[in-house]
Amino acid sequence: MDKHQTRDVFTPAKPARVAFVERESVNNRLVDSLNTPGKQIVVYGHSGTGKTTLLVNKLTQVYEHNITTRCMKGLTFEQLLLDAFDQLAPYFASEKSENIKTSSGIDLGASYLLLQAKVAAQTTSEAGEKHARMLPPQLTPQALGRFLGAKKACWVLEDFHKIDEEEKYKLSQLMKVFMDLAYEYAELKIIAIGAVDTARQVVDYDREMRNRVAEVHVSLMTEQEVTAIIDKGEKALNIEISGDIKKLVGRHSNGLASVCHHLCLNMCNAAGVFCTVEGESLKLTKEHFATAVKAYVDEASDSIKSAFDKAFKQRRKTQYENARLILDALCSLPENGTARFDILRQIRHEQPKYPEANLKYLLPKLCTAEYGAIVRFDSNSGLHSFSEPIYRAYALA
């Protein structure tokens, strides 16, 4: 039996390898898009559903090289281009030292190294103190596309939804350039990843491009898929987790792979399992699970706690803990949304005399920033749900 570190099996904060679960329908769409020349890709879905894990595992099967830029607020389109350019340096430097004798490689390699020298030399100053690198005229989107294409590499943009709208539009134009270069470089493509509900929230591309951009939605995991993560972890670490505990983990995970990994890692830590158990397998108990849930709640980020604090804040004296009753009811109802009447009926299982007026007043409030924006109302379907799956997972914990 191969020996594994527990932290390498259950990985809440990095892409899973050992406990990676194939999601056939999503995998097939992604692989088909990766293998289609000129097809640009937008991968979207809630944070924690496993978008990066899925992509990382599939890229290693399809691409020899890929570069990744991690986006954040304030980054400009030019800074993104420079980051991609910088990451290409090892490939072209290696090509020069090995003196690979292919006509396209030599020309592009020489062009790249010459341009790299110009980038390094160019600075601009403000008040004689602040220096910033400038994008040289020679580093155009077309040039970047050719450099990437020559290396048969794709460009992954993580968290692209964080970029300002103006910069997103520029990226949509860059996608168009990459599409046109696909005739010469079949592997060339951009893969933009965003933790949002729709692909258009990641990249707002032109109507004419809609048939040339693949929108891959990574949905919440099913209970069976969450259980499959636990099964793989059991086998890798030589531990046993009962069916009842697996169901509890699945319910608390709310379809988020990251939460499942987090709870399983916490359970192993509580049981003192830090690597593969030798000899007879070790059984994890409900006490270990209870400890894991408490640790998860204690570790929850301040932003999540702050949202719940805003929701539960007593703004006036009332007979009922309205916010708590509403959120508890939402936890017991379908995660994809429920009607107000069903929420009321669920609350009245616990509080038979609960007034409908209280629900009518507070439910819309829970959708606002003042109350933490924990709840979302879909005007198309008329349904209410947790605005983020992580909120439901936290409420269940």
222-299 belongs to CATH 3.30.420.40: no
Mean pLDDT, residues 285-298: 91
Tokens for 371? 């109350």
With 50 as the cut, is the pLDDT of residue 100 above it? Answer: no
Mean pLDDT, residues 77-90: 87
**Residue 108: predicted pLDDT:** 60
Which is more confidently placed, 120 or 12? Answer: 12
**Residue 131: predicted pLDDT:** 46
Question: Alpha helix (H) ranges present in 63-189?
Answer: 77-98, 103-121, 141-150, 165-181
In whole angstroms, give the CA distance from residue 385 to residue 83: 38
Q: How many beta carbons lie within 10 A of that of residue 164, not counting itself?
A: 13
Query: Is pTM, for the whole model, over 0.75?
Result: yes
Position 64 confidence tier, pLDDT thresholds 50, 70, 90: confident
With 60 as the cut, is the pLDDT of residue 66 above it? Answer: yes
Mean pLDDT, residues 78-97: 75
* Segments making up each domain of the chain, as ranges: 22-217, 222-299, 302-396
> Which 3 state secondary structure label does DSSP give 209?
helix
Tokens for 325? 């009753």
Mean per-residue pLDDT over the chain, rounded? 85
Relative to beta strand 190-194, strand 153-158 is parallel
Looking at the chain, the whole-number percentage of residues with pLDDT higher than 90 is 50
Position 130 confidence tier, pLDDT thresholds 50, 70, 90: very low
Q: Which CATH class is domain 302-396?
A: mainly alpha
Mean pLDDT is lowest, of 31-45, 98-112, 195-209, 326-340, for: 98-112
**Residue 213: predicted pLDDT:** 87
| CATH topology assigned to domain 22-217 | Rossmann fold (3.40.50)
pLDDT tens digits, one per residue of 176-219: 999 999 999 999 999 999 877 666 666 666 677 778 888 899 98
Which H or E run contains 187?
none
Mean pLDDT, residues 330-358: 92
> Which 3 state secondary structure label does DSSP give 12?
coil
With 80 as the cut, is the pLDDT of residue 144 above it? Answer: yes
With 70 as the cut, is the pLDDT of residue 245 above it? Answer: yes
Mean pLDDT is lowest, of 66-75, 112-121, 244-253, 364-373, for: 112-121
**Residue 168: predicted pLDDT:** 85
Task: Answer whether 157's CB lies under 8 Å from 71's CB.
Answer: yes
**Residue 93: predicted pLDDT:** 55
Give CA 32 to chain center in angstroms.
20
With 50 as the cut, is the pLDDT of residue 132 above it? Answer: no
Position 254 confidence tier, pLDDT thresholds 50, 70, 90: confident
**Residue 102: predicted pLDDT:** 40
Relative to beta strand 190-194, strand 130-133 is unpaired
